[in-house]
Structure 1
């Protein structure tokens, strides 16, 4: 069989038996939402939609009693059964079934297999930065579809930064009226109305994804000052940023003027002004109200122009405010240095696979206060890193370009010494958008490396499964190329991967 499966299932048993033939008479029965998902997937893959009937050859059902998000898939020559522990598990079983579809002389088929599968980590995420460059609702929903197909279940939206504020807040309307127009390079800005955000949240939920909104503070806040200048300090340049400005590599930030560069660390909220905390209460209340998921991200990274003591005082108050609105607080790992951070907060680690500068200790501090850690090692699964020196977009600050192989060859349990498996909430692959401005750019940078992150998040540890090797992974995603192409994903055809040619032409015109 063409073992083009990613993420790797927990158990796969291939049978020496006749495959299931997909024909124009193939039918689907069972749970309606999953059946609709499978119909769309098969239409994209094969060009035809099977009929929905009361008792079909492909049967989709939910049965309790298993691990959350788990499923069992059985394929025989006479039929296919997908059983999910819950709706999410059934959805993921359908995604695996879509990966198994292969062309054969005379038509399409699914090989005879049994698969039992469940996730390693509860949190499996991808982040989209919509602040450096803004992306409309249609683009965000396309990213949701792509991520969900790989069993990722959280979409972290980086909604605010120096370049723009992207979410409407009724109580502070100037945030979008005046703070949303700018973007990197002077490109088009924009923002999500409350209705836009609701559409994104609901679309994600239909695909078993939870939206995690981020309001980044106290740095990365220049755009707030475009709307409410009394809330922010004047820009403060580090020596390194001043040098970049002098050499013409970055524009100089000016208070009240939209920032179009990519430098970080020059902005800060006014830490000791009571009005700042009125702002936080109102904004976080509205964001929390519009977000049914449990998490609210409050940033906390790269606050280079905020005094260390002020940073600690601010993050303590900000985390308490976010928590008061009924949310689990998430913050970048720098906030782990704050002794008074609200108990139970989740730390997002963005240091390297080999921690430096105490980043690992800051991440562990979240666990010591009853929280857990999301792993986002920048030199492995930051999707905005170049593949190699010749990649036309992307950055290379995270220990140089990140090849597909490097994105795969890391193990979550090995990153932070002393971090127990149960303290790892999950894995998230961020896509920052300093150089990314279209869905085509997103596809190019996400695929195939997002599959590396999905496998680290879902599949067994590298020492527990014989398929969890680079040699296996490159072969498996090579076979996914035709599926990704049929889904409209403009993936990067990395020379590290022996890509399969499209197999659509091998199917007969009338075949399913």
Structure 2
């Protein structure tokens, strides 16, 4: 009897949810579901005053065998009322109301753009209820929180056709994003036709080969790539396609760095004579645009053609990762610094950006750039795209400049979204769906007035490791859905599981579209947590957790393996393999995690300086969680510090004997990652007075290739302090010269 009651309760609860929670992404600001239903007819009668472009889009996207008919009568099934503008009202162009009664669906908005957004909501509602053909009556009032809701696509490292770019724009439209950031030029390819400079595409749109596999392998495919570029007619076609979907296309023309493809075509624009070639490796290169009149004239002519093609308010001019090596060695640059009373080469970068901004402003447009354009002082009217963390956005907003928040730790979709062992090769990092969903674009450091300068949020897709469009789909879905709701302003990390359920419902739509989305959320996810005697491994899944099975002996789990109930204690070295099963069938990838425990595993640890926001993952605990990082995958097992030393103190809890200290660092100079310069180990019994017991220098670290095992003699101490020295300023002759080096460190062990 009790079981029967519980079953009825669950069924009623599910019915209540289906009637009171819609499967919409992004979820609207205000939803009221009423009694009664609108029955979807065989033929939907449309009022003939509906905006044509948007209505045609709606008819094409409602894939449910529906037929449509127009009428000028007031009893049409779908009607639209354009709200009157008022001179003393600040109505949002993207506001809409959507009301469904038993007889009619009515949409109200101030603009066709609002009407279009209402139709996107209606498309999802129809898809949810087309099986029963009965839509609950309701009223939705909705508008986004942020004006800039963007997605970026790099077509330089790997190229995508016009049709594929249009598909990408369609994905943005589906989930109410309104900005497409098109990254068109870089070291590895120039992808936009400039009629005044034909060699940009004749030479700069191709490269002799491409890097493949992990960066540290330094392997190339030996295959010519290109020529690949978009003609100006194709650009116009894409811009019009986006406009029809109320999406603004923001072009990016990189300067003063990331310019090798342009310099290969026009070497006279560099500080040295060259010759240059379009880059075949990924990373950052010393050869950049030289700030001379010839260069500025070239860039002004390029921008003339770009501005004619793109009606966007903002033109993205890059500004990131510009090494100053060539400028330091260039007589013209040094004379320019003296002539204009600039402080240094960073001041010269500001001079460069401000000169370009003045020209763009003269054409009635504004510039936006990556947060390195803050170097030496921000141009007067520039907006900042904050990617290295939130600091750039905070600095811009506090000084009265607009900013778009796109920090790598939350918004870089070239990062892994699941267990790297079961995912395709990616750039690195770890940005799963729940992390994207947890992001708040308004930094806590800003007050209400300063927060008004945060235009919105954007995610970026860099394509070094994305070879085709199927992989583009895989990397953006389902994370684009989380970004959508963050940008709309209705995300709530406390209700992530409810959002995840809506995502899984959206997978049915993607299946019908043939989209190759990532199924990582179906996989079992592991998280290391403190344990009673070391650490514990906590497993979770988007499905019924009762379906998780695991093994501790290295064998693959089966439906009969140990059922997961509580975090698994890890007090010794082992391999934990896990998977999700349903009705005895394997439904996920098999996840595998190797633990290598030591006397530091799970102990208390503190850091004197915190890692970079983009590479902080589990914080200091990551260094004593029993997991040794993969030297080829910059995933969640590494902490990254730019320009900072690692000083970690580990409390062993009691005096403990040990004779060896281990840790690993990385080297990937193309990404500005350098091995540690030195390391020292100290011991103490009171956490106050420390004695150094071991020191090694750069040569020993290089000889060990970053895999450090230090014999420290017989020790018996309660505290271990280890200082790992950052390489400091990157020396000349290396990518990123004169910039702060990155230091990556993983597990610190004691044996």
The TM tier, using the shorter chain, reads 0.7 to 0.9
Match of 1:315 in 2: 353
- What is the distance in 2 between the residues matched to 1:489 and 1:4? 19
Q: Does 1:274 align with 2:293?
A: yes
Match of 2:45 in 1: 27
Q: Does 1:477 align with 2:503?
A: yes
SS in 2 for 1:50: strand
Greater share of helix residues, 1 or 2?
Answer: 1
CA shift digits 1:218-259 (9 cap, x unpaired): 110000111101112469xxxxxxxxxxxxxxxxxx843232
Q: Does 1:404 align with 2:467?
A: no
TM-score, structure 1 as length reference: 0.84
Q: Is the 8 A contact 1:64 1:86 kept in 2?
A: no
Match of 2:247 in 1: 209
Q: How does 1:451-466 map to 2 (within 5 A)?
A: 451-460=481-490, 462=492
Match of 2:24 in 1: 5
- What is the distance in 2 between the residues matched to 1:257 and 1:381? 31
Match of 1:387 in 2: 417
CA-based RMSD of the aligned residues comes to: 2.4
- Structure 2: runs of 5+ lacking an equivalent: 1-17, 86-90, 212-223, 326-344, 523-540, 544-751
- What is the distance in 1 between the residues matched to 2:28 and 2:129? 24
Higher relative contact order (CA 8 A, sep 6+): 1
Match of 1:289 in 2: 308
- What is the distance in 1 between the residues matched to 2:306 and 2:127? 44
Match of 1:40 in 2: 60
Match of 1:437 in 2: 467
- What is the distance in 2 between the residues matched to 1:103 and 1:296? 39
1:303 to 317, 322, 331: 322
Structure number, greater radius of gyration: 2
CA shift digits 1:154-212 (9 cap, x unpaired): 11111100001111112212111111123744544411111111111111111001111
Match of 1:239 in 2: none
Alignment CA distance shift 1:302-1:22 (3 Å): same
Match of 2:182 in 1: 157
Alignment CA distance shift 1:103-1:206 (3 Å): closer
Q: Does 1:166 align with 2:186?
A: no
Q: Is the 8 A contact 1:99 1:483 kept in 2?
A: no
- What is the distance in 1 between the residues matched to 2:509 and 2:256? 43
Match of 1:175 in 2: 200
CA shift digits 1:300-326 (9 cap, x unpaired): 101124543432322222222222222
Q: Does 1:428 align with 2:447?
A: no
Q: Which moved more, 1:149-158 or 1:308-317?
A: 308-317
2:34 to 10, 15, 23: 15
SS in 2 for 1:36: helix
- What is the distance in 2 between the residues matched to 1:343 and 1:448? 38
- What is the distance in 2 between the residues matched to 1:218 and 1:290? 22
- Structure 1: runs of 5+ lacking an equivalent: 236-253, 500-512
- What is the distance in 2 between the residues matched to 1:402 and 1:459? 20
Alignment CA distance shift 1:351-1:24 (3 Å): same
SS in 2 for 1:17: strand
Shift of 1:329: 0.8
SS in 2 for 1:90: helix
Q: Is the 8 A contact 2:284 2:321 kept in 1?
A: yes
SS in 1 for 2:415: coil
CA shift digits 1:249-276 (9 cap, x unpaired): xxxxx843232221124331112x3211
Alignment CA distance shift 1:49-1:482 (3 Å): farther
Aligned residues: 463
Q: Is the 8 A contact 1:267 1:305 kept in 2?
A: no
